[in-house]
Structure 1
Amino acid sequence: MTEVFTNDSAQIMDFALKVGLATISGLLIGLERELKGKEAGLKTNTLVAIGSAVFVLISLRFYGEEYTDITRVLSQIVTGIGFLGAGVILQKEKEERVKGLTTAATLWCSAGAGCLAAMVMWIELTILTVLVVVINIIFGYIDDKLGERNKSKGE
């Protein structure tokens, strides 16, 4: 394992770049949620992306060490985000429907964005970020229109 304290500026810049790109992705994904007034918006999605990137970067420090499996961190991120996502899912008893599933799924994608940033998968990170934002905008609009139509029909 590498030393705990380092003055290696290249290593610090590499960390800053990876976490910075995770931050930008989380901000872009979270901005859409924030503009829609969702509970888990800008800050939450950004922090999820940053946290995921940091945990992956920490696990990569153990690459090549005996008796380690750095991929376990990825599975623990998925589990942890599942727990966080459950916190944003609410059942509206009066409306007899569940709310927050899209926000929970978006948090899951933000975690994936952080993992991609940490693994230097820039193109994949860009594709994911664009897809999540576009899907949330387009299908959110369609969902709103269908909801209005169903309300006007008395359903």
Structure 2
Amino acid sequence: MPAITTALGFTIRLLIAVGLGILIGAERQLTKHRTGIVTNVIVCVGSYAFTAFSYLANDGNTDVTRIAAQIVSGIGFLGAGVIISDGTKIKGINTAASIWSSASVGILCCLDKWWFAAIVAGAMVLAHLLIHPIAEFITKKQEYNKEKSDKQETFYRISIVCSEENADEIKKNIIEYFRELDDVLLRNLEMSDVDGGNVKVRAEISTKRKNNELVEHIITHVGKHEDIISTGWKHIT
């Protein structure tokens, strides 16, 4: 291939950068992502042009790694602009990584061995077409398992520490309160002495599905009694 410092060599490499940018961008656009052909072509061409400048300005006698390092930093800021935080989810990381990687393809197009750029571009497309679906499958599988776990019957133990003289009354109130709840089953209720002449009342309950909010509501309701010293709950198996 002609040297990059010649018009023919520069043009050939530029066309390669455009072609590989189209390849990367086409996959992004066909899969309905925010950055498509135009963005990736511009990133590839821009990175190629900046790197080629270091060759042209000094007729090939220069340290091109300096320009490449600056491109990596600059494209990082561009990629950050497409990342969106949506509550607990972060969107756009793959798109940002694609833009960043497209810049590396443009830089590699400056080499005489231009096929290294083609290899990187091909690897990017394969990663999106083959590896990304696998990652999506694993994520959905994890979400399904979590949802399934949340719908299974869940067991809790509620602990209440109170004075000994009010233990029977509190125990009676607990039994009456649980009779009013449709989604909770009282499985066991026992009392034991603790230090200071107090009594700990333990209630083992089960819910049709994981429902920590309901247990917190129960604790709040039961804990309103003025003679209750402390309350708490935990999952049990």
Q: Does 1:118 align with 2:113?
A: no
Q: Which residue pairs with 1:25 in the alignment?
A: 20
SS of residue paired to 1:88:
coil
Higher relative contact order (CA 8 A, sep 6+): 1
The 5 Å alignment of 1:137-148 reads: 137-148=129-140
Q: Which residue pairs with 2:42 in the alignment?
A: 47
Q: Which residue pairs with 1:35 in the alignment?
A: 30
Q: Which residue pairs with 1:89 in the alignment?
A: 83
Q: Which residue pairs with 2:66 in the alignment?
A: 72
State the Cα deviation string for residues 35-92 of structure 1 (Å, max 9, x = none): 12111221111110011111111111233699x6443211111011001110111111
SS of residue paired to 1:91:
strand
| Alignment check: 8 A CA contact 1:52 1:112 kept | yes
| Alignment check: 8 A CA contact 1:63 1:70 kept | no
Measure, in 2, the Cα distance between the counterparts of 1:12 and 1:138: 38
Offset of residue 101 of structure 1: 1.1
The two structures, once aligned, show a CA RMSD in angstroms of 2.2
Measure, in 1, the Cα distance between the counterparts of 2:86 and 2:41: 27
TM-score with structure 2 setting the length: 0.55
Measure, in 2, the Cα distance between the counterparts of 1:37 and 1:29: 13
TM-score with structure 1 setting the length: 0.82
- The structure carrying a bigger strand percent of its residues is 2
| Alignment check: 8 A CA contact 1:22 1:53 kept | yes
Measure, in 1, the Cα distance between the counterparts of 2:38 and 2:143: 33
Offset of residue 16 of structure 1: 1.2
- The structure carrying a bigger helix percent of its residues is 1
The 5 Å alignment of 1:117-136 reads: 117-136=109-128
Structure 1 vs Structure 2: percent identity of aligned residues? 34
* Structure 1 stretches lacking a partner, 5+ long: 1-9
Of 97, 110, 114, 1:105 maps to 97
